Chains A and B, each alone.
Chain A
Amino acid sequence: MGTMIAIILAGVFTNNFITVKTYGICPFLGVSKKTSSAAGMGIAVTIVMVLATLVTYPVYRYVMVPLKFDFLEIIFFIFIIASLVQMLEMIIRKLSPALYNSMGIYLPLITTNCAVLGVTELVIGDMSQFLAGASMNVGWAVLYSLFAGLGFTLIMILMSGMRERLNYYKTPKALAGFPTAMVTASLICMAFMVFTYIQL
């Protein structure tokens, strides 16, 4: 139970992917102009993160490490992610065209989203700081990726809300677009710095 709480807090707040780890910034800046698209992107990323961890972690730990093929991890992980994304896109298009229209368009972008590769690389590394003494296994890896994804979604939605508001204000020409978004993101980060003082 303690480990579960520690992982949830770490994923969503203390080690938030955007505000602390700075993973997945491209979609964070690119797809956060509207709340609906930000939420869609966030959920799509979360799903791919969970599925990717579910596949890569067991294969890495129980096949690649014993066979000493762990140096091929990057190629293997990116290949799994690319195939997963492709497959997911095909499945969604077939099953639910409505869902595809609202979410599927973000899927191709996810392959090159570092949050996904980042989480698969993170869970095979040293996770002891999030585990509160428990030993690492597939369950914790998937749980961590799920809550890291939800933390990512949370920030996406917060950011899109702020940017929707910002549309009503006039900004100097040089500051329009990315610079304003970055300063906004900086303010969100400052607010989230509070959570790094949580001691688990």
Chain B
Amino acid sequence: MHRERTRNEYEKENEWQPAAARRCPVNIPLLSLLIFTPWVGALLLFVLRRRLSASLGRILPILFSLSTLILGGIVLARFNPVITGMQFTEKHAWITALNVHYHIGLDGLSLVLVLLTGIISPLALFGPTRQVRCPAIHGALFLLLQGSALGVFLALDFFPWFVFWELSLVPAFFLIKLWGGPGAARAAYQFVIYTIGGSAFMLLGFAAIFAETRTFDFLELKLISMGGQAPILFGGAATTWVFLGVLLGLAVKVPLFPFHAWLPPAYAEAPTGTSMFLTSVMSKMGAYGFLRILWPLFPLQFHAAAPILLWLALGGVVLSAFAAMKQTDLKRMVAYSSINHLSYCLLAMCAVATAGPVNPAFPAVMIGTSESGIAALSGTILQLFNHGLSAAALFFCVGVLESRTGGLRGLGDFGGVRTAAPVFAGLCGIALFSSLGLPGLNGFIGEFLIFRGVFGLAPWVAAVATLGLLATALFLLTFWQRVFHGPATGAGVNFRDLDATEIATLGPLIVLMFVLGIFPQLLAGLINPLVTTWAATLP
């Protein structure tokens, strides 16, 4: 009875589909193109790897990588932010025996992340890979990674989603291992085994869900759980176990403190371009999973677990900031600051889930919290995007330091770089200030909204989290001061300034930091209606 009703609701929610089709004159499978163009490029590069000259082997991956930005732009132009359901959906039967569909679609959240992928990937291939060994193979692996990440952001059925999710590890493993620093072997192993160890339990959780519901479709599962059946799906205790399995898979990926141990070595040992992609795109996969899967499918369990998770996220915010202060390796410092920034997102989500009313049947309780909820959730999505920009820029700057000095990246190895390289110092400084959340730059708006939301929901937590802000400011300013200021010492003497390629890599990121800092509405407009619906229905 319940299930019948939810199916009907599901059909009703999808009634907009014909309208969307009408707006799109020729029915091109835009999202499939988005996912598979990089893969086609990867295949092409792999097949032709012997015949390509070095420069062509470097340029082709960049061109294929740009396809995401172009197609993402087309999607953006046709995207209707008022619709909160999925748009551009494609659904085809895949494995009938298991009721698996190739089902992809996009809403504001996915769109933001697709655009981020489109911006970061070509830059990560363009800037730091001039001296890379075997550019064609490197490019092929990178494109494989890029396509997998896009698949994760667009898939709406657990099965293809999980395929993309796991598949992204294979190229990442080889990129870290083959092109990484001296400790890359160990770091790559840790990265892959941690992540697979977590996602294995997620797989188990979904196998259990499937055994009960006979479907993998996120939208159908969401309706089932909102119809009130999720809590009784397997009987109380079993649902909790399923929830914990899925949570573990996502928590390792984000990472949620204390599952973060794989991250600093992986980011630090990866080559610069891969670090940029890992931190700005792949780290978003976990947070995306929280919003797309964990919360809609397990609202009650998430609500129940949220107080504990809130404290863990708070631990991530504060401890990772203090850990970053202690680092002498600049790349590890930026890696810890990444944990810190993503922990803000988790903090916001958990705060909303803690405070939110469990039962949508009592909207009265929500009025007090919904504004804070909306602020916190918008802040989360903006933070995801903004952290992508600033962390990629910072990793690139550390990469520049490394490439000039044959791999030096210690905090004490440099001094007074600004005198020799004013352009570099200026651009890197902007990235640092964006990362620590200076008003007027993009980092501010996300963090402000998160704090504004969390303060309304869990004031004490917000108060403690400001310690993290303080520590972030301290270590980023230490970075800025020790490397760029003072008398030129160490490797900072006669430091060569940025050349045209490097400026062209850093430039777009810096411009976007200003644009989004001054007009955050550009991005927020895409997600506002979505977040408002979430705040009304999700918690």
Chains A and B come from one and the same complex: no
